[in-house]
A and B are shown apart, each in its own frame.
Chain A
Amino acid sequence: MAPLGEDFVLRLYVAGQTPKCLRAFANLKKICEQYLTNRYRIEMIDLLEDPGLARGDQILAVPTLVRRMPTPVKKIIGDLSNTQRVLAGLEVPVGAA
């Protein structure tokens, strides 16, 4: 199967390796593999290393997942433990996998 390209550009903002942030990353990875196979790219931003980046995407809560592509920008905050809500937030039709 040919890759479909990166339809989904996802940016996960974390602040250090906290359990919440690690959990969010693991949850995100799992959801993407299952529902967005070969159609996503995840960028991790650790605000402790790049504090200046928090303003650009209006980050307040950590972890925050930002859907940068496709537009419009969407935000999901929390450890992404509820898959259905994450999919709803990313506007991924269930069954698209």
Chain B
Amino acid sequence: MQIRKARTGIQGLDEITDGGLPAGRPTLVCGGAGSGKTLLATSFLVNGVKFGDPGVLMTFEENGDEIASDVASLGFDLPALVDAGKLFIDYVRVERSEIEETGEYDLEGLFVRLDHAIRSVGAKRIVLDTIESLFSGLANANILRAELRRLFRWLKDKELTAVITAERGEGTLTRQGLEEYVSDAVILLDHRVNEQVSTRRLRVVKYRGSHHGTNEYPFLIDRNGLSVLPVTSLGLEHEASGERISSGVRALDQMLGGEGYFRGSTVLISGTAGTGKTSLAAHFADAACRRGERVLYFLFEESPNQLVRNMRSIGIDLQPWVDTGLLIFKAERPSSAGLESHLAAMYQQVRDYQPSVTIVDAVTNLLTVGTQNDVRAMLMRVIDYLKVSGVTGLFSSLTSAGSSYEGTEAGISSLMDTWIVVTIDEVERERLRSLRILKSRGMAHSNHVHGFEITDNGFKLADRRA
């Protein structure tokens, strides 16, 4: 039986969890300080109100005003929800120094408060953030554990969809072993800083009775709130188009079985500096725009103006396409953000602009902000997303001089359907450009090395064979 789900409304999280958190059951959200637990929990509540579920926020660490101001920058207006009777915030403060313990007690007071809060707004969702704080406030851990066990059972009996946040422990999911009590679903948040670039990740550790993505997913906190990027292989189920589209260079189309690339496929163009990678990309962009299709062009090395000017010198005029809006450049320094942020930005722009062609020039620039493995993982996500969306992707890759291209691009080439290598050789004081297709899945293609020139009219294949 498929269990009921309560949508979180958090972009991406509902996809990973196949619909949301288990409805009527508690979910544990654990992570270190600053990992985004409170934000995730608050989003779950605020979005819940939008879906018609009133909520209760019981906070143990920050008071209501503090939380409200923390999330105000994300566009959440907690006081308004409280005034509207859709949200009840109760700040529970336990100060050990003010409390003397003598004899038996229980936490009925907590239950009374919760019950009162739940009734006040008719809550369907509840957040306890972070209930572990009680361990530092109360001396008798045995009573506390027994009462927490009772509490989680009580929440289940009331069929509340609950999010319980907890601090990550050393070698355990939570410092106080709350995973022992809350075992329906566990989400782990992680915040790492590598080489001054911060990366947030989310993983669904456990989800009883439901399919869920098991990878670590990058997530972002920006002015739109929290979003998880599930742009990774949840399956390889995208449609493979049989349609062919021109590379923009007729002779290259000839080499590619006479018809060009497959629509929706991925193309890698690699070569050392100055070999003509960007020219090939520009030809492709130009051809797409001529067909009236939209092109999204990510640029990491030069400004759009510079690129347009340079391409004009070889007879490709991109400016009209920029003017009509068919061609959109997104130029950014690779170091301006972490990989995950680049990924998120690309994902959002592809989603918003809905291009039929996306160009990334050059993917190797991203290696300055991540390791080869990270970049590969990120590209895999981008490619998956492009493929699912039916977008044709063209990626240029800079091979460092002297190294073998097979080595440099070994990581990413396997993700590509078509791999074209452009090279320059010095032969008798002449610089000879050549191009060859290392692979092109699903089509008969030329296995020769073709010489070419870049002329005032763009790429021209020379009719010679090396």
Given known contacts A55-B90, A61-B109, is B104 in contact with A79 (CB within 8 Å)? yes
B104 touches A15 (CB 8 A): no
Q: Which residues of B contact A88 (CB under 8 A)?
A: 100
B120 to chain A, nearest CB (A): 9
Question: How far is A89 from B139 in the complex, measured between Cα atoms in Å?
Answer: 15
Q: Find A47's partner among B92, B94, B108 (CB 8 Å cutoff).
A: B108
Report B101-129 CB contacts with A as 1/0, cut-off 8 Å: 11111111111110110000000000000
Of A15, A52, A59, A77, which is in contact with the most chain B CB atoms at under 10 Å from its CB?
Answer: A77
Decide if A44 is an interface residue (CB 8 Å cutoff).
Answer: no
- Residue of A with least CB distance to B111: A15
A20 touches B100 (CB 8 A): no
Q: Which residues of B contact A85 (CB under 8 A)?
A: 100-102
Q: Find B103's partner among A48, A60, A73, A78 (CB 8 Å cutoff).
A: A78
Decide if B99 is an interface residue (CB 8 Å cutoff).
Answer: yes
B105 touches A78 (CB 8 A): yes
B105 touches A79 (CB 8 A): yes
A20 touches B102 (CB 8 A): no
B99 touches A47 (CB 8 A): no
- Residue of B with least CB distance to A15: B108
A62 touches B107 (CB 8 A): yes
B103 touches A82 (CB 8 A): yes
Range, interface on chain B: 20 to 34
A55 touches B107 (CB 8 A): no
Question: How far is A35 from B104 in the complex, measured between Cα atoms in Å?
Answer: 22
Report A69-97 CB contacts with B as 1/0, cut-off 8 Å: 00001111111111001101100000000
Q: List 22 A-B contacts (CB under 8 A).
A: A15-B109, A15-B112, A20-B105, A27-B103, A47-B109, A51-B113, A55-B113, A58-B93, A60-B110, A60-B137, A60-B138, A61-B105, A76-B99, A76-B102, A77-B138, A78-B102, A78-B104, A79-B105, A81-B102, A81-B103, A88-B100, A89-B100
Question: How far is A73 from B100 in the complex, measured between Cα atoms in Å?
Answer: 12
A54 touches B106 (CB 8 A): no
Given known contacts A51-B116, A58-B93, A60-B94, is B101 in contact with A13 (CB within 8 Å)? no
Q: Which 10 A-B pairs have the closest CB atoms?
A: A89-B100, A78-B103, A79-B103, A81-B103, A51-B116, A62-B108, A59-B109, A15-B108, A85-B102, A82-B102
A60 touches B107 (CB 8 A): yes
Question: How far is A58 from B95 in the complex, measured between Cα atoms in Å?
Answer: 10
B94 to chain A, nearest CB (A): 6
A86 touches B113 (CB 8 A): no
Q: Which residues of B contact A18 (CB under 8 A)?
A: 108
Given known contacts A52-B116, A55-B90, A58-B92, is B101 in contact with A78 (CB within 8 Å)? yes
Q: Find A60's partner among B92, B102, B104, B115 (CB 8 Å cutoff).
A: B92
Decide if A32 is an interface residue (CB 8 Å cutoff).
Answer: no
Other CB < 8 Å A-B pairs besides A51-B112, A79-B102, 7 of them?
A15-B112, A20-B105, A59-B109, A60-B107, A75-B99, A81-B102, A81-B103
Decide if B98 is an interface residue (CB 8 Å cutoff).
Answer: yes
Interface of B is mostly: mixed
Q: Which residues of A contact B109 (CB under 8 A)?
A: 13, 15, 47, 54, 59-62, 64
- Residue of B with least CB distance to A62: B108
- Residue of B with least CB distance to A75: B99
Count of residues in A whose CB is under 8 Å from the partner chain? 34
B106 touches A20 (CB 8 A): yes
A80 touches B103 (CB 8 A): yes
Decide if A10 is an interface residue (CB 8 Å cutoff).
Answer: no
Q: Find A77's partner among B100, B111, B112, B134 (CB 8 Å cutoff).
A: B100
Question: How far is A61 from B108 in the complex, measured between Cα atoms in Å?
Answer: 6
Question: How far is A52 from B116 in the complex, measured between Cα atoms in Å?
Answer: 7
B113 touches A61 (CB 8 A): no
A85 to chain B, nearest CB (A): 4
B103 touches A24 (CB 8 A): yes
Question: How far is A77 from B112 in the complex, measured between Cα atoms in Å?
Answer: 16
Of A62, A85, A86, which is in contact with the most chain B CB atoms at under 10 Å from its CB?
Answer: A62
Q: Which residues of A contact B101 (CB under 8 A)?
A: 76-78, 85
- Residue of A with least CB distance to B120: A52
A63 touches B105 (CB 8 A): yes
A75 touches B112 (CB 8 A): no
Question: How far is A76 from B107 in the complex, measured between Cα atoms in Å?
Answer: 13
Question: How far is A80 from B102 in the complex, measured between Cα atoms in Å?
Answer: 5
- Residue of A with least CB distance to B92: A60
A61 touches B102 (CB 8 A): no
Q: Find B112's partner among A20, A27, A47 (CB 8 Å cutoff).
A: A47
B106 touches A62 (CB 8 A): yes
B130 to chain A, nearest CB (A): 15
Question: How far is A47 from B109 in the complex, measured between Cα atoms in Å?
Answer: 7
Q: Find A73's partner among B98, B102, B108 (CB 8 Å cutoff).
A: B98
Question: How far is A25 from B320 in the complex, measured between Cα atoms in Å?
Answer: 86
Q: Which residues of A contact B137 (CB under 8 A)?
A: 60
Q: Which residues of A contact B134 (CB under 8 A)?
A: 60
Q: Which residues of A contact B110 (CB under 8 A)?
A: 60-61
Question: How far is A20 from B143 in the complex, measured between Cα atoms in Å?
Answer: 14
B112 touches A48 (CB 8 A): yes
Question: How far is A48 from B102 in the complex, measured between Cα atoms in Å?
Answer: 23
Question: How far is A36 from B93 in the complex, measured between Cα atoms in Å?
Answer: 30
